[in-house]
Structure 1
């Protein structure tokens, strides 16, 4: 900062502190004018700073409803229930300037069905920097909370991390991956932040978003999907009411899950349990075609069929559903290309 700017900063600090004697013989009115000018100077520099670097402002955080809808329609395959819930839930929450509580979504299903991918789509349509945003925070159970003996420490750290980040930006997003591998009881430490409070210790959490990802409950989802398939019914006939109650109960009673007997479920703080159905071969082929398009390659239906056909399906005799969904298609595609 140049010398003149340093003098302006000193004058501004003195006026703000009420110490006008120290700046005699300059009159108080002149000092106040200088302080006002300096305030504008600092505000301008703040605007410049936020122009080149991410800030918690609309330039960097702005929900694109059309973008999310388009992404869900064109990039997420075989998940008609999840797509509908996600779009309505996120749109309703982000359109509300005064939500009563944070949005809490719990995404369930077998690996490769799109849970992490949906989290990425949500982030990309809210934050300009997407998953790289400093306001998007990802916790992975096996990485961040590996030892059950450290549960008390993890609880304290988790509370501090969330409070600190929400204090920095109320439109923060927290993604908890591998909830089925989290130590039971740990997630209850953040229960107050998900509840109906205006503020806690001066901090409002109502505009934040919490997304939990878990394989827990996948068995009940698969059972329902298989029953529909065996009965010859179309998967699009499956509705949320066919899955939600059984899903929440199986998750709540799973003693190896981070949701085991959690107050988040008991106190109805999870807004939506979102089921992700097992994928059929045609959905895997769509994933392969989308991956080729993302790599700026000409989509090749023959290659897509070969990649999808090389994966494992169940039941073995009928090959109804993929065991890993779209999880392994990138490496498989590299092989066939």
Structure 2
């Protein structure tokens, strides 16, 4: 609870107490009733609810965060900003927003999900309306495939029934059992309502390393041809990425009807990071810690990262994944 809300709570409680104690005895029942009503208001004010007090999209905030905190992802930043802004600005979308984020580890997929949540929900990733599924944690056993399908449907239906503006994040899609994600296909389709529940205002985000090789190869080809990475556009990657994911048994989206029926709105490629981006990550992490960003330290951290191809050392193998722990060593 932030300081402002706490002060307001104390102020209201003090005022309520004063009201109760200054009434004459024969008005005590009325005073208690007033106190109870105020108590309910306080409860609902401080308890997250599915309304504009707790869910309020900040398009400018998302744009600033993407520009200042996400490095080396000009394609992903542009897609995410336009897709989320357009969707959240529409009071009557035809279907849920479905984003599939792809790329190697450490390139920013989870981080972008956090930025989206932070700029939609007051509580960000801590919001009770943000739900994260991790394949190895929630769906570990192939023998329980049918059980998982039923549970997944129930979880989504129950949460969307509670709040239409729910957000679902599926991490480690490349480790999900093939066909499991198809169980939620009806919820992502162009239906007004299913069993009285509308899913149109929900957001579904899939995170996967699948397709990372094709993205990296395209980026490497651009580099070898002497072209700037900023020249890379979505059309250079989208088709090869969707085909790679659809035909990869380890993608979690293998031969899925979500792709076949065009229910995934955007396949978002996350490019492999270069040395300069790792430096930016280190500088940003120092700032986030409350330290004065030190270019010398950032340079030491970036030099300590493993790059490939071995001879040219162009792209970071783990992106910015290990920056936090390496800063602990150099500071």
Fold shared by both chains (TM-score > 0.5)? yes
Counterpart in 1 of 2:139?
145
Secondary structure of 2:282's partner? helix
Counterpart in 1 of 2:306?
312
CA displacement at 1:137 relative to structure 2:
0.2
Count of equivalent residues = 299
Structure 2 vs 1, CA of residues 191 and 294 (structure 1 numbering), >3 Å: closer, same or farther?
same
Q: After superposition, what is the alpha-carbon deviation per residue over 1:213-248, rounded to whole angstroms, capped at 9, x for unaligned?
A: 000000110010000000010000000000000000
| Gaps in structure 2 of 5+ consecutive residues | 1-32
Equivalences for residues 104-143 of structure 1 within 5 A:
104-143=98-137
Q: After superposition, what is the alpha-carbon deviation per residue over 1:104-135, rounded to whole angstroms, capped at 9, x for unaligned?
A: 00000000000000000000000000000000
Structure 2 vs 1, CA of residues 330 and 87 (structure 1 numbering), >3 Å: closer, same or farther?
same
| Gaps in structure 1 of 5+ consecutive residues | 1-37
What CA RMSD, in Å, does the superposition of the two structures yield over aligned residues? Answer: 1.4
- How far apart, in 2, do the equivalents of 1:104 and 1:307 lie? 36
Runs of at least 4 residues off by over 2 Å: 40-50
Counterpart in 2 of 1:94?
88
Partner residue of 1:296 out of 286, 290, 294: 290
Which one has a bigger Cα radius of gyration? 1
Counterpart in 2 of 1:158?
152
- How far apart, in 1, do the equivalents of 2:115 and 2:44 lie? 24
Q: Are residue 54 (structure 1) and residue 48 (structure 2) matched? A: yes
CA displacement at 1:256 relative to structure 2:
1.8
Partner residue of 1:261 out of 250, 255, 258: 255
Counterpart in 1 of 2:180?
186
CA displacement at 1:50 relative to structure 2:
2.2
CA displacement at 1:44 relative to structure 2:
6.7
Counterpart in 1 of 2:17?
none
Q: After superposition, what is the alpha-carbon deviation per residue over 1:69-107, rounded to whole angstroms, capped at 9, x for unaligned?
A: 000000000000000000000000000000000000000
- How far apart, in 2, do the equivalents of 1:41 and 1:213 lie? 48
CA displacement at 1:45 relative to structure 2:
5.9
Equivalences for residues 159-178 of structure 1 within 5 A:
159-178=153-172
- How far apart, in 1, do the equivalents of 2:241 and 2:247 lie? 10
Give TM-score scaled by structure 1 length.
0.87
Structure 2 vs 1, CA of residues 92 and 44 (structure 1 numbering), >3 Å: closer, same or farther?
farther
- How far apart, in 1, do the equivalents of 2:293 and 2:80 lie? 28
Counterpart in 2 of 1:237?
231
- How far apart, in 1, do the equivalents of 2:35 and 2:203 lie? 34
Secondary structure of 1:96's partner? coil
Counterpart in 1 of 2:221?
227
Give TM-score scaled by structure 2 length.
0.88
- How far apart, in 2, do the equivalents of 1:137 and 1:327 lie? 23
Counterpart in 2 of 1:4?
none
Structure 2 vs 1, CA of residues 198 and 42 (structure 1 numbering), >3 Å: closer, same or farther?
farther
- How far apart, in 2, do the equivalents of 1:308 and 1:139 lie? 32
Q: Are residue 71 (structure 1) and residue 71 (structure 2) matched? A: no
Secondary structure of 2:137's partner? helix
CA displacement at 1:46 relative to structure 2:
5.2
CA displacement at 1:49 relative to structure 2:
2.3
Secondary structure of 1:86's partner? helix
CA displacement at 1:255 relative to structure 2:
1.1
